[in-house]
Amino acid sequence: MALSAKMLLRQGQSLVMTPQLLQAIKLLQYSSVELSAFVEEELERNPLLERAEETPDQPATGIDALAEVQNLEAASEFASGEPQEADWNSDQLPVSSQALTESLGTDCENAFDGDRELSPAADQAKLDSLGISETAWSGTGGGEGSGEAGNIEAYIAEETTLADHLARQLAIVTPDATQRMIGLAIIDALDETGYLREKVEDIAERLGAPAAMVEHALSLVQSLEPTGIAARDLAECLALQLRERDRYDPAMQAMIANLHLVAKRDLGALRKACGVDEEDILDMFAEIRSLDPKPGRAFGSTAATVVVPDVIVKAARDGSWLIELNSEALPRVLVNHAYAARVSRTHTADDDKNFVSQCLQTANWLTKSLEQRARTILKVSTEIVRRQDAFLSQGVEYLRPLNLKNIADAVGLHESTVSRVTSNKYMATPRGMFELKYFFTASIAAHGGGDAYSAEAVRFKIKQMIDAEPPNAVLSDDAIVEKLKAHDIDIARRTVAKYRESLKIPSSVERRRDKQAQAARSA
């Protein structure tokens, strides 16, 4: 067999993931926050990109148009006879009752009793005798001579962090600078829930201090508010709070030492460990529930992120639904072709032309990708609303089973594209804010062979049944299965248990015990 080199011409097809295609895929799966951050980076990087609101079409030019608008506003305010905004934000406050009456548009008859009959000169003389000048009121706005309105945000209380809250108390508790320094190191080692995850020995080694001194500083920090702070585990956190309430007796100590039995609600073992009867055990349970297992969570270290809906659904007068994209969640950018042409004409260097050409290509592709992303989101959202019309009008019980393939076949897209579109996207509906993936649920077969039920609707029915059960007739998982079959829902017992656990609902034995104890206490 002879080996030889040959040249062959072969035709084939292959998918090449270009940088532009990769960018379009990333834009599709970005949330509104991530998309805004990405567009901001592109605006800084690309000189040909501009925000859409930066270049409005103005019929008048610059200062003349602004002055005309300001004159019209002033004339309308004067004609209305109402006090203008500048009157309330002025740096100078009139000092006489007559000036106040004319300036603020209010009657001062019931005020300034002592100087109502005085003239403005007498008013000023009286203020001078008290050591108050007319300029003493200046600076209450946005700064003397600044001409700006008062900054309301400057008067908003600063958010107190857990570390600041504890540091202020520590400075009062101990005058010793060394103890304060060690205490601040302990405070810095706390996590957001208020627990001390670092060992005392490690802190002592890091600071070069004796372990006994660190232990003493830890006891000082644990004496601060909120109670239970700087605990090393859950048992110590609960013990600190019980000591403050003077309820850390031997029986409670035994229960705290056996928290694993409390989690299992093993009353028999707890009665033996604590040496009390079942009624006292239930009272101790109630007292432990009233404690805060995470005392540091009241001081959030990070601000909560506000969810901005990508799609807004409203009810129309004819009973249909109006679906529109949220303009606030869509970044609007424009390509400055005039600037690109001007730079290309004035710069003859090849590097400059290549840079401008590359920026223009990137800007055009970005705008097309943003437009395609918006169209795809609207198309998928419209199909979701069409299929989940009963949910929007009647509630969770009527949520239909839905998967990605159903939507992909209906709108002519691939399932992976639909998955990217529905990730981290939210829809504002008359029933609340929902992530688009919320509408995709598994199907539960009907007992009589009818239409299938969605898993979310079945989970909602289970919660309704458990909430309505009386204390003397608590439903077991088998009883829930039978009741669901009566509603034409075919479901297995293990599925009911899985749904119940996902709803954080205890078992029937625990629910019966809790409800009977609650009924006995209320009686």
Q: Which of residues 62 and 209 earns the better pLDDT score?
A: 209
How do strand 426-429 and strand 311-315 relate by DSSP bridges?
parallel
pLDDT of residue 177: 85
**179-183-188 Cα angle (round to 5):** 155
Which of 493, 478, 491, 402 is closest to 445 using CA atoms? Answer: 491
How do strand 49-51 and strand 333-335 relate by DSSP bridges?
antiparallel
Question: Is the pLDDT score of 503 beyond 60?
Answer: yes
Q: What is the value of pTM for the model shown?
A: 0.56
Long-range contacts: 238-242, Cβ < 8 Å, 24+?
Answer: 238/288, 238/291, 238/293, 241/291, 241/292, 241/295, 242/287, 242/291
DSSP sequence for 59-100 = SS-HHHHHHHHHHHHHHHHHHHTPPPHHHHS-S----SHHHH
Residue for token pair 């901005």: 308
pLDDT of residue 107: 55
Which whole number is the average pLDDT over 491-516? 85
The answer to whether 413 and 376 are in contact (CB under 8 A) is yes
Residues of the chain above pLDDT 90, percent? 10
Which whole number is the average pLDDT over 118-140? 49
**236-239-244 Cα angle (round to 5):** 130
Which of 437, 432, 406 is closest to 421 using CA atoms? Answer: 437
The helix or strand, by DSSP H or E, that contains position 321, with its residue range, turns out to be strand 321-325
Q: Which two tokens stand for residue 318?
A: 């004819």
pLDDT tens figures, 287-314: 888 888 888 887 755 555 678 899 999 9
pLDDT of residue 429: 92
pLDDT of residue 282: 83
Q: Which of residues 324 and 75 earns the better pLDDT score?
A: 324
pLDDT of residue 152: 52
pLDDT of residue 74: 38
pLDDT tens figures, 333-386: 888 888 888 887 886 777 888 888 888 888 888 888 899 999 999 999 999 999
pLDDT of residue 323: 92
Q: Which amino acid is at 72?
A: L
Q: Which amino acid is at 240?
A: L
Long-range contacts: 41-48, Cβ < 8 Å, 24+?
Answer: 42/333, 42/362, 42/366, 43/333, 46/359, 46/362, 46/363, 46/366, 47/339, 47/359, 48/335, 48/336, 48/337, 48/339, 48/340, 48/356, 48/359, 48/360, 48/363
Q: Which of residues 523 and 317 earns the better pLDDT score?
A: 317
pLDDT of residue 379: 93
Q: What is the 3-state secondary structure (H, E, C) of 144-208?
A: CCCCCCCCHHHHCCCCCCHHHHHHHHHHHHCCCHHHHHHHHHHHHCECCCCEECCCHHHHHHHHC
Residue 182 CB neighbours (<10 A): 26
pLDDT tens figures, 32-44: 888 888 999 998 9
Q: Which two tokens stand for residue 111?
A: 């005020």
Q: Which two tokens stand for residue 514?
A: 């809790």
Which whole number is the average pLDDT over 197-225? 88
pLDDT of residue 65: 33
Q: Which of residues 469 and 157 earns the better pLDDT score?
A: 469
Question: Is the pLDDT score of 84 beyond 80?
Answer: no
Beta carbons within 8 Å of 143's beta carbon, 6+ residues apart: none
Question: Is the pLDDT score of 417 beyond 60?
Answer: yes
Question: Is the pLDDT score of 494 beyond 70?
Answer: yes
Residues of the chain above pLDDT 70, percent? 75
pLDDT of residue 436: 92
The answer to whether 431 and 316 are in contact (CB under 8 A) is no
Task: State how far the Cα of 120 lies from the Cα of 115, in Å rounded to an integer.
Answer: 10
3-state secondary structure (DSSP) of residue 434: strand
pLDDT of residue 89: 46
pLDDT of residue 377: 93
Task: State how far the Cα of 244 lies from the Cα of 295, in Å rounded to an integer.
Answer: 14
- Locate all alpha helices (DSSP H) within 388-503, ordered by sequence: 389-394, 404-411, 415-422, 455-468, 477-486, 493-502
Mean pLDDT check: name the lowest of 104-118, 396-410, 418-432: 104-118
Long-range contacts: 299-304, Cβ < 8 Å, 24+?
Answer: 299/160, 299/161, 299/162, 299/165, 300/192, 301/161, 301/162, 301/192
Summary mean pLDDT of the chain: 77
Which of 239, 258, 234 is closest to 249 using CA atoms? Answer: 239
pLDDT of residue 138: 40
pLDDT tens figures, 50-64: 887 644 444 333 333
Q: Which of residues 16 and 385 earns the better pLDDT score?
A: 385
The gap between the terminal CA atoms of the chain, to the nearest Å, is 100
Which whole number is the average pLDDT over 483-499? 87
pLDDT tens figures, 270-286: 888 888 887 888 888 88
Question: Is the pLDDT score of 87 beyond 50?
Answer: no
Residue 315 CB neighbours (<10 A): 13
Q: Which amino acid is at 304?
A: A
Beta carbons within 8 Å of 412's beta carbon, 6+ residues apart: none
